[in-house]
Copies of this chain bind each other. A is one copy, B any other.
Amino acid sequence: MVITSLENDRVKKYVKLKQKKYRDMYGEFIVEGYHLVVEAYKRGILKEMIIEENEAVPIEAHSVYVTYDIIKKISDVESPPKVMGLCSKVEYNDEVGSRILLLDGLQDPGNIGTIIRSAVAFNVDTVIFGRNTVDLYNPKVLRATQGMMFHINVIFDDLEEVIKKIKSLNIAVYGTKVTHGEDVRRIPVKDKKSYALVVGNEGNGVRDEISDMCDGNLYIRMNDKVESLNVSVATSILLYELGDMDE
Contact = CB atoms under 8 A, between A and B. Distances in A.
Interface of A: 110, 114, 117-118, 120-123, 144, 146, 148, 151, 185, 220, 222-223, 225-227, 229-230, 232-233, 236-237, 240, 243-244, 246
Contacts of A225: 120-121, 148, 151
B185 A226 contact: no
Most chain B CB neighbours (cut-off 10 Å) among A110, A114, A185, A233: A233
B223 A118 contact: no
Contacts of A146: 227
B233 A118 contact: yes
A230 B118 contact: yes
A230 B117 contact: yes
| Max count, chain B CB within 10 A of own CB: residue among A114, A229, A232, A244 | A229
Nearest to A233: B236
12 contacts: A114-B230, A117-B226, A118-B233, A120-B223, A121-B222, A146-B227, A148-B225, A148-B226, A232-B232, A233-B236, A237-B240, A240-B240
A242 to B, nearest CB: 13
Contacts of A148: 225-226
Given A117-B229, A229-B117, A230-B114, A122 B222 contact: yes
